[in-house]
Structure 1
Amino acid sequence: MIKISIRRTYRFQEIVNAFLKNGFSHVLFRLGITERRAAATMKSEPMDTNLQHIGQKLNRTLQELGPTFIKLGQIASTRRDLVPPEIIRELEKLQDHAEPFPFDDVQEIIERELGKPLNELFESFNDKPLATASIGQVHAAFLHSGEKVAVKVQRPDIRQTVGTDLSILKEIASIIENNTEWGKLYGVRAIINEFADSLLSELDYENEGRNAERIARQVKKDPSVYIPEIYWELTSKKVLTMEMIEGIKSNDIDLLDKNGYDRKLIARRLVHSMFSQVLNHGFFHGDPHPGNIYIMPGNVISFIDFGMIGVMDDDLKLQFAKLIMELERGSTKGIIKVMDSMGILQDETDIKSLQKDLGMLKTKYYDVPLQNMSLGDIFMDLFGVAYRHQVKIPSEITVLGKTILTLEGLVSKLDPDMSIMDGVEPFGKKLIKEYYSPSSLLRTAWENFSENAEILANIPRDFKDISTAAKKGKLKLDINLRQTSFILRRMDIISNRLAFSVILLAFSILMTGLIIGSAIAGENNMLLNLPVIEIGAIIAILMFIFLLFSIFKSGRM
């Protein structure tokens, strides 16, 4: 315990010194991380207000501090809603390269993890790594059965290093959130916790293997996409053995042309595969840079390295599809409505000012043909607007935005005439059509009715509990005026659901009464020679459909 404390204290001081050395003494003091006299002991530059210079110094600092901070910088470079664009550009230059670690360590880790000598596990094993990074390195090997494989081995003690860094980062996040309005507004602790979960997941090679197999199942019926096989008997949390992909790197245009590959077809297949992952399955490769995509014979696309994955639930997929449609239409009100549906507009958000900035974005892309639009650029502009108005975009959307930007850069090299807007539009329209299909609406309506029926059944008991608490003087009412809009939105949802339930109940009672009455009387109900039951049923059904449509259209269901 003492060793851990000493190591943590030493590492904390090392982190602080790195930031002080690179000119961040004023920042550390204002955040409450250092005292003024501590900052004064370091020779620091005057406070720099040039964001590009700050980005360059931040890049240098994170690079010095190693893998945890390099990963943090890379993830921060996707958060254009939180970080100024000048700093983003510098963070994007962070390189996750490291010196290879000795083969003796590689062998020791493999044998300890897999429980057998190296020569029993593999027919042959290349001691020179194919690639190195801050977390691990990859070696080529052959199995006794003859298959060529790629073996990823984790660096010694990397988990201990990352664990110490993450605990320090969480402490720093708490200081920032407690001492700054910015930290409170964006929930810095939650952001760091999310980052920690992502990085720890990336350190688990078994999890990476499961990610690969999940995407393999998604593309099982698509012969144009290939996912390498995972050899589970040679895989652990620190060792990953997968099929070696023999292909051409996707950005090696000259080699692709030399070997007669169809680059236009490859580009179409790549876009289709990525948006199928995103909008059909909600589980997608989160880092599709050229080094992670190889082209195999027959213009088949192969993805590798599944450490970074994006996840989108059904609601977020729908909101993303709506956002694409509103961007295409150039509807600023529609974009704001989608943002509101995501729950990302703060009480302090100036809607009129936000609408004005989105209007300027609309003007920028006005009359630009769909095939000439850059979806990546549109998203970066949108994230820039979000940054200026302190609108926090869901991290899943920012990961997707970064993925789209990376994908678009690769596609433009493969086929300069292709726009990925052409590829995403059909998926978006299909998703919205499915959501608003009669079967989907009825299923959602039934789920909501069942939920509300349970709520209504519990109302007497809830009132009794409230009354009992009031009599005992234990009833507390806590109203936070800063959350007024949230409360009103929730009340809107509740009122719509109650209205839906009451109308549905009334409709059932009305129709039941008319049918029973008609049956008892033994005659048709006619009024002025008009069939009352039939007309009443039609009117009630039309009212029911109108109400249902209004509630779903409002997005408050």
Structure 2
Amino acid sequence: MFKIRIRHTKRFQEIMNVFLRNGFSHFLFRLGLTDRGSSNDSGNKMNMQDAGVKLRHALQELGPTFIKLGQIASSRRDLVPEEIAMELEKLQDHVTSVPFSRIREIVVDELEAPLENIFTSFDENPLATASIGQVHIAHLPSGEKVAVKVQRPDIRPNVETDLAILSDLARFLEDNTDWAKTYHLHEMIIEFSRSLQDELDYRVEGRNSERIAKQFEENPSIHIPSVHWDLSTDKVLTMDLVHGVKVNDLEKLDAGGYDRKLIARRIVDSMFHQILDEGFFHGDPHPGNIYILPENVVSYLDFGMVGRLDNDLKYHFASLLLDLREGNTEDMIDTFSAMGILSDDTDMQAFTRDVDDLQTRYYDVSLSEVSLGAIFVELFQVAYRHHIIIPSEISILGKAILTLEGLIAKLDPELSIMKAIEPFGRKLMRDRYHPKHLIENSWKDFVENIEILTNLPKDLKAIATTIRKGKLQLDINVQQVQVFLRRLDRISNRLSFSIILLSFSILMVGLIIGSAIAGQTNMLWQFPIIEAGSIIATLMFLFLIYTIIRSGRM
């Protein structure tokens, strides 16, 4: 039986009962969450698809926290089997609307004024409802129409209770199961908690909206509705109302004379600008969050979920795509290693074989024939087979691109997302190798190395003390020996090459100084030694710089 302390026993029992009703008794028993009497063999006979359907029903019944958890899990194909992920994608926020009397109370309490003093009209019927909040149309005294998003009453304490239970469960499972420990389940729940708590604070969504709006200040073809901060709090968000056509309403788009191909191109370019140029992007670009305005202007809504890619992740993402296209398995493995996602337990031989199979399918294939979404799915499946945890930022990116690709296929079936992304990827690679960027990175590395050298005496003293006390431990993983030796071989070769280059340069400088003092030219068998040596030294230097840059580490 489950032996850890649960802070919210009643809610925990509700959760257990929902999973038991949906046929997960055997699974819960194997995890140690229920006793043998609650278990039956029906869960043993479920295939993955049946399990996915039952899991979706259970999460739907449990409410907002678990619906959000399922939606995020659907994007983690590196952790969740494909059949279950596909079912979890169907999770929707099917909830009844909150009575207007309660909505009025929340708006009045948050904005600290009677509703009639703030808005000249406020539609009692919601424009849209979701598990966290609902949207109403209202008019400001200026006559302007706005969309007012109001959080559902008492949702925060309910979500916080669920998150506390999930945190306790994750700790228990990490202590008692290998798979939870391997996947750092508790860290994942902490990350999920932060994300959901951000969604509960509408001010975060407002700031996300403004940050993306700044990315398109000079681009009139992209529209982001403005936030009315004087009428917004953590539970109420007031934004300009968008008057347009939903992007997947093809009949209305055609009837209105919109250019579907142009719209598709603008959506793709604007998304990859967010992803690869800015590193901050809309994390959920489904059709309900994209509207088309007159003149084929694209308007993005709802910035509760956003993705972030730092410069290294952007570079790694672009590198993987380009290496995949060029059939370079070794560089792909190096990129995965540089991302820090290969664990000590990874079977490098089997992993390399799977990556090689993956790149073989896409090597030298026309970009118009390649699905970027399919590449993500296959990469995640390889990661799942080898227990490799993909960074959550990349999983959000994968989900966004899968959603985007489905939408673009309806707007313009001839537009290849893979082809559209290539110029952004190559530009990113060029920018990374720009002299200014290389100098900045070299300076950062130089400063870091100075700090390391400064602390070296202390570190050596600490090591010596540890050795004297007999507490020095060595952890050698045989599976990683080949990878380690290969990297060590590269390092030693590069050091040897650098020493040879230095020695050769010293020799050439000696010859130049000697010839200058003697006032004679250096000729050996009618061969100009200095001129030839200078050319060789220059070529060696350029080759060394090229190999360092190619490795991606300055």
Query: TM-score if structure 2 supplies the norm length?
Result: 0.90
Q: How does 1:80-99 map to 2 (within 5 A)?
A: 80-99=77-96
1:97 to partner: Cα distance: 2.1
Equivalent in the alignment of 1:102? 99
Q: How does 1:57-136 map to 2 (within 5 A)?
A: 57-136=54-133
Could you tell me which amino acid in structure 2 is paired with residue 290 of structure 1? P
Equivalent in the alignment of 1:267? 264
Equivalent in the alignment of 1:288? 285
Equivalent in the alignment of 2:429? 432
Q: Is the 8 A contact 2:199 2:305 kept in 1?
A: yes
1:457 to partner: Cα distance: 4.0
Query: TM-score if structure 1 supplies the norm length?
Result: 0.89
Equivalent in the alignment of 1:478? 473
1-structure distance, mates of 2:48, 2:63 = 23
Q: Is the 8 A contact 1:507 1:540 kept in 2?
A: no
Q: Is the 8 A contact 1:319 1:338 kept in 2?
A: yes
CA gap 1:525/1:555 in 2 versus in 1, 3 angstroms? farther
Segment of structure 1 superposing worse, 299-308 or 19-28: 19-28
Structure 2 residue ranges without an equivalent (≥5)? none
Could you tell me which amino acid in structure 2 is paired with residue 182 of structure 1? W
1-structure distance, mates of 2:415, 2:241 = 30
Could you tell me which amino acid in structure 1 is paired with residue 315 of structure 2? L
2-structure distance, mates of 1:143, 1:319 = 47
1-structure distance, mates of 2:146, 2:317 = 38
1-structure distance, mates of 2:464, 2:293 = 71
2-structure distance, mates of 1:475, 1:152 = 63
**SS of aligned partner of 1:317:** helix
Equivalent in the alignment of 2:336? 339
Question: C-alpha root-mean-square deviation of aligned residues, in Å?
Answer: 3.3
Q: How does 1:332-371 map to 2 (within 5 A)?
A: 332-365=329-362, 368-371=365-368
1:29 to partner: Cα distance: 1.4
2-structure distance, mates of 1:490, 1:211 = 45
> Which of residues 286, 310, 314 in structure 2 aligns to 1:313?
310
2-structure distance, mates of 1:452, 1:498 = 21
Q: Is the 8 A contact 2:8 2:165 kept in 1?
A: yes
1-structure distance, mates of 2:239, 2:485 = 49
2-structure distance, mates of 1:411, 1:212 = 23
1:357 to partner: Cα distance: 3.0
**SS of aligned partner of 2:137:** strand
Q: How does 1:441-452 map to 2 (within 5 A)?
A: 441-452=438-449
1:17 to partner: Cα distance: 1.0
2-structure distance, mates of 1:146, 1:422 = 45
Q: Is the 8 A contact 1:500 1:548 kept in 2?
A: no
Q: Is the 8 A contact 1:283 1:310 kept in 2?
A: yes
**SS of aligned partner of 2:471:** coil
Q: Is the 8 A contact 2:246 2:288 kept in 1?
A: yes
1:365 to partner: Cα distance: 4.3
1:394 to partner: Cα distance: 1.2
Equivalent in the alignment of 1:241? 238
**SS of aligned partner of 2:44:** coil
2-structure distance, mates of 1:483, 1:453 = 33
Segment of structure 1 superposing worse, 335-344 or 163-172: 335-344
Equivalent in the alignment of 2:15? 15
2-structure distance, mates of 1:453, 1:379 = 40
CA gap 1:310/1:6 in 2 versus in 1, 3 angstroms? closer
Q: Is the 8 A contact 1:212 1:227 kept in 2?
A: yes
2-structure distance, mates of 1:487, 1:362 = 22
Q: Is the 8 A contact 1:282 1:317 kept in 2?
A: yes
> Which of residues 453, 457, 477 in structure 1 aligns to 2:450?
453
Equivalent in the alignment of 2:183? 186
2-structure distance, mates of 1:501, 1:182 = 43
Instruction: Check if 1:31 corresponds to 2:31.
Output: yes
1:525 to partner: Cα distance: 8.5
Instruction: Check if 1:389 corresponds to 2:379.
Output: no
2-structure distance, mates of 1:541, 1:522 = 24
1:309 to partner: Cα distance: 0.2
Q: Deviations over 1:513-537 (max 9, x none)?
A: 969x969x97879544999988776
2-structure distance, mates of 1:483, 1:115 = 66
Percent sequence identity is 53
CA gap 1:478/1:114 in 2 versus in 1, 3 angstroms? farther
